[in-house]
Structure 1
Amino acid sequence: METNGVRPTPEQARSALVDTERIQASAQALAATPWPNWFFITLTLYVAALPIAYGGAMASTDWLLPGPAWMGIMLAITAVYGSLFAVAAKTWRNKTGVALRFDVLPKRATVPLAVGLPVLLLGASFAFRITGRPVWLIAASLTGAAVSVGFHLAFVRLHRKTS
């Protein structure tokens, strides 16, 4: 803020700091904007389908479909999800100039999600293999979808609070 060798006044310096903080907060809010709705729906469907596909692949005997068919389904939905994630990230970056970031989300929400969701989705498949009862897969599928919706709503609320 120095021009022609003149130092800024304390008020000008404070004003510049406030402007800098406002720009940083704005950039963080932009990066924390919720996923597009189509990707949120895709993510929720993927989370709901994964325990059933993984459970079918892990079943001790053929359950509804042969094991290799379940593996093919699981690989196919994962490839589709990965492709759509790349499209969502690229679209967001082109639209805003900011890459999708998860570091702006509160750790108290993201750490339990990153640990708990895989345990839920994969643990149900192990329980299904041991017991042979598909209720484990259905419960994990519904719980995973509910967690996805809840996390999305929290994401939306965080965005509204910071913007």
Structure 2
Amino acid sequence: METNGDVIRPTPQQARDALADTEQIRASTTALSATPWPLWFTTALTLYIAAVPPVYGGMVAASEWLLPKAAWATVMAVMTAAYLALFAAAASSWKKRTGVALRLDVLPKRATVPMAVGLPALLVGSAIAFRATGEPVLLLAASAVGAAVSIAFHLTFVRLHRKNS
């Protein structure tokens, strides 16, 4: 390093090397943060998404459907609490293992925005349609589509990770 009075300045080559190291660290961090959810969490999330339409449908049904409404509400509360606990465990485990928090913001907006809008509309809309028609096939179809969307989103996450690695 060259000295210029009190200030020590790196040579041009040292500065280029430091920038290259910084860029490599940034690329590595981006790849790590885009790594897919653990498989166990993906499975739990897919099952949760598949269970929401019939459970929510039972909650909003015009009359009791298979179970009392209070039972459906209890099932929904327990499912949601379990999902949130598993999400926290997955995020904590990932952060301990990699030092990087799980992030969805690294995914392309063309994938996340339709999912963030479409999936809730599908899950809630199917229950509303069930209430109006009484046809449980709508709930089953929404469950299947929701599970397929969950799996497709996970595969997109995997593909992005492989592309960034």
Give TM-score, length-normalised by structure 2.
0.92
Q: CA deviation at 1:11?
A: 4.1
Pick the aligned partner of 1:42 from 41, 44, 50. 44
Match of 1:100, SS?
Answer: coil
Match of 2:85 in 1: 83
Instruction: Give the number of equivalent residue pairs.
Output: 162
Q: CA deviation at 1:3?
A: 6.2
Q: CA deviation at 1:14?
A: 3.1
Match of 1:18 in 2: 20
71-80 or 13-22, larger mean C-alpha shift: 13-22
Task: Provide the alpha-carbon RMSD of the alignment.
Answer: 1.5
Match of 2:118 in 1: 116
Give TM-score, length-normalised by structure 1.
0.93
Unpaired stretches in structure 2, ≥5 consecutive residues: none
* Matching residue's letter, 2:82: V
* Matching residue's letter, 1:95: R
Mapping 1:140-151, distance limit 5 Å: 140-151=142-153
Go from structure 1 to structure 2 and tell me whether the alpha carbon gap of 1:137 and 1:3 turns closer, same or farther (over 3 Å shift): farther
11-20 or 122-131, larger mean C-alpha shift: 11-20
Q: CA deviation at 1:143?
A: 0.3
* Matching residue's letter, 1:25: A
Partners of 1:7 and 1:48 lie apart in 2 by 60
Match of 1:51 in 2: 53
> What is the CA deviation profile of residues 62-114 of structure 1, one whole-angstrom value per residue up to 9, with x for unaligned ones?
11111111111111110111111111111111111111111111111111111
Q: CA deviation at 1:136?
A: 1.0
Partners of 1:112 and 1:20 lie apart in 2 by 34
* Matching residue's letter, 1:147: V
State percent identity of aligned pairs. Answer: 63
Partners of 1:131 and 1:11 lie apart in 2 by 72
Match of 2:64 in 1: 62
Higher radius of gyration, 1 or 2: 2
Whether the aligned pair in 1 keeps the contact of 2:34 and 2:102 (CA below 8 Å) is yes
Unpaired stretches in structure 1, ≥5 consecutive residues: none
Partners of 1:84 and 1:63 lie apart in 2 by 29
